[in-house]
Chains A and B, each alone.
Chain A
């Protein structure tokens, strides 16, 4: 199977928002779409999914025109959306049915994802309450011994009130009752319910706290390991570096850099030198004719032309009896490449 985008173009009046985007995925993997706000990433994704008419270009799946509604595509949109007034369970079942997943299978998947994304509390409150109650009872038993754990006899009025409370809580919550982060988890769940072969994640981790970011990363890693075709758009460069094999950097609708991430980095060479010493080295840097990129209490980042210049600088440090704690020569980070490419484009 292969996925290919050929010369995608979209204009609004005089303004071209996507200008000749082309890329190909010959096999499963993760392709990243990077760019500043308004670079054309989301427009490109919408054209790929057939939501927006393209002015020209082709989107091919296995060499033929891609028909998204006939494929099993999981899509997490940048503009998060759920019906605020409907219950989560109803919505998820609806989304699953639209993807052709039967009710029984959908319920199974919802239960799985709900547990995995820690959403039971909102989707299956009754089940969650029972589990919590059981946990509480177990803790009590452990704390107070077997005899104390026997449930205290409840009056019929109290029992009725508890039953009523349970019944009231048994209904799945409405989307509007959830926090933004939890709504995002529900949407990721909606995107993955049908176990899609093709996944598009538009800014999947934006606005998430570190705990949920890790949860999302774990899920994404799992999806990648299942040999899926994944297109990911993000502003978080470390995330892209963590998951993606190939990247496209877009600026104002144009592709400014494209290719395999490792090869791109290699082509830049190892020009970033991170140094930490016990003594001040400013004078020595000046003496060697090097440029400081950034200086923090932890380290000094210096731009070198390559390994040779870096070795010369190390010898200079040692010759001056400087105690070197850290001497790390690296390729430029994706963040640096991005800033360089997009910054240059914006200056033009």
Chain B
């Protein structure tokens, strides 16, 4: 690629980027995405937060807890509320053991009215085991979170009692805590026992890999379609003839590809930023350390995201985007009217669908095994590697060597695709007639090799 061919790329890039950002379609889509990103976390927190949230109670509103114990096995004098007051939030709560039946104490609580700050603590034997029921007055000052936290402390106390009741020494109790691990090994022909490794990914890891694949695919498709539209707009508006007196077709194509990629990546980066900020604000507003959204992300899943790894992933994604955008640009170069673009884009659509479906397949099969041949193929295959490998690297199932091989293959493919697209763009730039077929493009490229300038 001669530097002369790229002269003016910067100007084309700046103009295309600014005009794209200024366009109504872009502004509307950004506003819509930002609103969605802004509202997702608080809305999800409102809908699901109660069940998943671990909202910390600072100072409980509960004044008196009537303890109506129906557990038959507790020895006399064992107070299940013994250490509740150690918890700062419940330090002021008065625990009152009642002898009345649960029905009687319930009526009493009901008589106290909706303004009461008293609750009933009712441990009993249920169908599945022990149930610690905490009853509050509906619509009263005591919240569900407070009752939840109080019940949790009582459950911990009962657990301690269970261990104490067994009468086993501490050392033997540890044996009870041992967890089970299943290991299936096989015997090789040489007689060695070789472990059969289970390297399938978990649900959380799958979610991360799938989300990254989805975002990268969306960016690739959106940016690429815009590149194709921009290429055809130059031709259909006949501006291209004026532009070609100042810049080479290669510079026009590269400027447009880079501008559309930056615009789309910027759009998604803003979306992610707003989403993270909204999630933080939601956490602060709801007084919880972990929102519903963050509770879905497995702990330690981002521990593989070192600087080098992040750079590798970004390079891989960028190269993939350039490949898809150039392919779309090539389709755009084959037509001269906007109404013909959809038809020409079928080659791009077909290729991107293959890439996307293979990537989805690879991520799904990672759940069974992250090292099967199909997954490994998709991690280096240029149509799928930009969508599969970044997620696989983040969750730590793709080796760095695979990422580097994928980058090398994409660099070569990008250069070839850019050359081809620029050649076709240059050859057909003044073609204002009908759509050119791939057969004609191949014939044109062959003639070009043998022809003089």
Chain A: minimal CB distance from B1 (Å): 15
Determine if A69 and B245 form an interchain contact, defined as CB atoms under 8 angstroms apart.
yes
**What is the predominant secondary structure among interface residues of chain B facing chain A?**
loop
Which listed residue (B12, B248, B430) contacts A46, Cβ 8 A?
B430
Interface segment, A73-81, A123-131, A162-170, A203-211?
A73-81
Residues of chain B within 8 A (CB-CB) of A79 are: 238, 241, 432
Determine if B19 and A86 form an interchain contact, defined as CB atoms under 8 angstroms apart.
yes
Determine if B242 and A95 form an interchain contact, defined as CB atoms under 8 angstroms apart.
yes
Q: How far is the CA of A191 from the CA of B246 in the complex (A)?
A: 11
Residues of chain B within 8 A (CB-CB) of A41 are: none
Nearest chain A residue, comparing its CB with the CB of B448: A53
Q: Does A190 contact B (CB under 8 A)?
A: yes
Encode contact with A along B10-40: 1 for CB under 8 Å, 0 otherwise: 0110010011000100000000000000000
| A83 with B239, Cβ < 8 A, contacts A52-B430, A53-B427, A98-B8 known | yes
Residues of chain B within 8 A (CB-CB) of A73 are: 245
Nearest chain B residue, comparing its CB with the CB of A59: B453
Which listed residue (B7, B12, B241) contacts A69, Cβ 8 A?
B7
Residues of chain A within 8 A (CB-CB) of B247 are: 69, 98
Determine which residue in A54, A56, A67, A69 has the highest number of CB atoms from chain B within 10 A of its CB, and name it. Answer: A69
Q: How far is the CA of A191 from the CA of B239 in the complex (A)?
A: 12
Which listed residue (A56, A67, A81) contacts B238, Cβ 8 A?
A81
Encode contact with A along B227-240: 1 for CB under 8 Å, 0 otherwise: 00000010001111
Nearest chain A residue, comparing its CB with the CB of B248: A69
| A84 with B237, Cβ < 8 A, contacts A69-B7, A97-B11, A98-B11 known | yes
Q: Does A55 contact B (CB under 8 A)?
A: yes
| A54 with B239, Cβ < 8 A, contacts A75-B245, A79-B432, A94-B11 known | no
Determine if B11 and A49 form an interchain contact, defined as CB atoms under 8 angstroms apart.
no
Nearest chain A residue, comparing its CB with the CB of B431: A52
B residues apposed to A, CB below 8 Å = 4, 7-8, 11-12, 15, 18-19, 23, 233, 237-248, 427, 429-430, 432, 448, 451-453
Residues of chain B within 8 A (CB-CB) of A143 are: none
Q: List 12 A-B contacts (CB under 8 A).
A: A49-B245, A51-B429, A53-B427, A67-B4, A68-B245, A69-B8, A69-B244, A70-B4, A81-B237, A81-B242, A82-B239, A94-B15
Encode contact with B along A108-141: 1 for CB under 8 Å, 0 otherwise: 0000000000000000000000000000000000
Chain B: minimal CB distance from A186 (Å): 11
Determine if A51 and B237 form an interchain contact, defined as CB atoms under 8 angstroms apart.
no
Residues of chain A within 8 A (CB-CB) of B453 are: 53-54
The 8 tightest CB contacts between A and B, nearest first, are A81-B238, A98-B246, A77-B241, A81-B239, A79-B238, A94-B15, A75-B245, A73-B245
Nearest chain A residue, comparing its CB with the CB of B236: A81
Q: Does A185 contact B (CB under 8 A)?
A: no
Determine if A98 and B427 form an interchain contact, defined as CB atoms under 8 angstroms apart.
no
Q: How far is the CA of A56 from the CA of B244 in the complex (A)?
A: 21
Residues of chain A within 8 A (CB-CB) of B241 are: 46, 51, 75, 77, 79, 81
Which listed residue (B15, B240, B242, B452) contacts A187, Cβ 8 A?
B242
Nearest chain B residue, comparing its CB with the CB of A78: B241
Determine if B430 and A82 form an interchain contact, defined as CB atoms under 8 angstroms apart.
no
Which listed residue (B4, B243, B246, B451) contacts A53, Cβ 8 A?
B451
Chain B: minimal CB distance from A89 (Å): 12
Residues of chain A within 8 A (CB-CB) of B429 are: 51
Q: How far is the CA of A51 from the CA of B15 in the complex (A)?
A: 22
Which listed residue (B7, B237, B244, B246) contacts A83, Cβ 8 A?
B237
Q: How far is the CA of A191 from the CA of B240 in the complex (A)?
A: 13
Chain A: minimal CB distance from B240 (Å): 7
Beyond the given pairs A69-B245, A70-B4, 11 more chain A to chain B contacts, judged by CB atoms under 8 angstroms and listed by A's residue number, are A51-B244, A53-B453, A54-B452, A73-B245, A77-B238, A80-B238, A81-B237, A81-B241, A82-B237, A95-B243, A95-B246
Residues of chain B within 8 A (CB-CB) of A55 are: 451-452
Which listed residue (A69, A83, A90, A98) contacts B233, Cβ 8 A?
A83
Residues of chain A within 8 A (CB-CB) of B8 are: 69, 98
Q: How far is the CA of A73 from the CA of B246 in the complex (A)?
A: 8
Q: How far is the CA of A10 from the CA of B429 in the complex (A)?
A: 16
Residues of chain A within 8 A (CB-CB) of B243 are: 95, 98
Residues of chain B within 8 A (CB-CB) of A49 are: 244-245
Q: How far is the CA of A129 from the CA of B248 in the complex (A)?
A: 39
Residues of chain B within 8 A (CB-CB) of A74 are: 245
Q: Does A15 contact B (CB under 8 A)?
A: no
Residues of chain A within 8 A (CB-CB) of B7 are: 69
Which listed residue (B245, B246, B448, B452) contacts A56, Cβ 8 A?
B452
Residues of chain B within 8 A (CB-CB) of A80 are: 238
Residues of chain A within 8 A (CB-CB) of B18 are: 90
Determine if A99 and B238 form an interchain contact, defined as CB atoms under 8 angstroms apart.
no
Chain B: minimal CB distance from A15 (Å): 14
Q: Does A85 contact B (CB under 8 A)?
A: yes
Q: How far is the CA of A122 from the CA of B244 in the complex (A)?
A: 26
